[in-house]
Chains A and B, each alone.
Chain A
Amino acid sequence: DSGVTQTPKHLITATGQRVTLRCSPRSGDLSVYWYQQSLDQGLQFLIQYYNGEERAKGNILERFSAQQFPDLHSELNLSSLELGDSALYFCASSVEGGVRTDTQYFGPGTRLTVL
């Protein structure tokens, strides 16, 4: 158990809908990352937050947004869902986020299926 929690574990929804994925980082970690794992794209970085502020952005679609709250939990919002958004979404956390030795610990993931 990495200490990172993600809810829900599974999510099935329809095209055009909006969903919210939730992540709680390990105790003491200030940085949260979101990754998407799909069969065709592999594991891709989406976005990083540090202590409530956006730090880095990757291949995140405009239909997707995220935020980190004062209690450091984070939410990833996916809207106008398409079939191609079906994937495993991981949240990871690390202590600082800006140090090269900083290890990212991953949550169990949320499997999103868009029908």
Chain B
Amino acid sequence: AQKITQTQPGMFVQEKEAVTLDCTYDTSDPSYGLFWYKQPSSGEMIFLIYQGSYDQQNATEGRYSLNFQKARKSANLVISASQLGDSAMYFCAMREALGNAGNMLTFGGGTRLMVKP
């Protein structure tokens, strides 16, 4: 079963406006971490923001904020004041603990964001 779901394959946003990228997750582990990464057309994966399952407040990093609704198991990324350079693929990921103190990230399918001038 898919553990991270991003339902928006592609989105457009007008420059300078805010946009929300959706992410829902599924886990039975009470301790987990949620991450958002940006992948521009050049291919690298850039870490944007992190939210821990026990964090009381929503995470913010500059123009990025995470709308964390634990009961709904959603962790939506909000980008304020969109810029042309925000055009990229965005991936939601969940850190899962594995045996032997290992861990891995499970990624959603991604959302392609296109910012219109």
Interface residue? A74 (CB, 8 A): no
Quick check: B33 and A100 within 8 Å, CB to CB?
Answer: yes
Neighbour of B47 across the interface among A56, A97, A103, A109, CB < 8 A: A103
* A2 and B47 contact, Cβ closer than 8 Å, known pairs A42-B110, A100-B32, A100-B33: yes
Output the nearest chain A residue to B100 by Cβ-Cβ distance. A55
* A100 and B91 contact, Cβ closer than 8 Å, known pairs A2-B46, A33-B104, A106-B45: no
What residues on B are CB-neighbors of A108 within 8 Å? 43-44
Secondary structure call for the A interface? strand
Interface residue? A43 (CB, 8 A): yes
Quick check: B45 and A56 within 8 Å, CB to CB?
Answer: no
Output the nearest chain B residue to A35 by Cβ-Cβ distance. B105
Interface residue? A45 (CB, 8 A): yes
Interface residue? A70 (CB, 8 A): no
Most buried by A among B44, B46, B93, B103: B103
What residues on B are CB-neighbors of A44 within 8 Å? 107
The answer for the CA separation of A107 and B43 in the assembled complex, in Å, is: 10
The answer for the CA separation of A33 and B95 in the assembled complex, in Å, is: 13
* A97 and B102 contact, Cβ closer than 8 Å, known pairs A88-B43, A103-B35, A108-B44: yes
Chain B interface residue count: which class? 20 to 34
Output the nearest chain A residue to B91 by Cβ-Cβ distance. A43
What residues on B are CB-neighbors of A106 within 8 Å? 37, 44-47
Interface residue? B99 (CB, 8 A): yes
Among B25-70, those with CB < 8 Å from A are: 31-33, 35, 37, 43-47, 50, 52-53
B residues whose Cβ falls under 8 Å from a Cβ of A: 31-33, 35, 37, 43-47, 50, 52-53, 91, 93, 95, 97-107, 109-110
Nearest first, the 7 closest Cβ-Cβ pairs linking A and B are A56-B102, A55-B102, A106-B45, A98-B101, A43-B107, A45-B104, A56-B98
15 A–B contacts, CB within 8 A, in A order: A2-B47, A33-B104, A33-B105, A43-B93, A45-B104, A48-B98, A48-B103, A50-B102, A97-B103, A98-B101, A98-B103, A101-B33, A102-B33, A103-B50, A106-B44
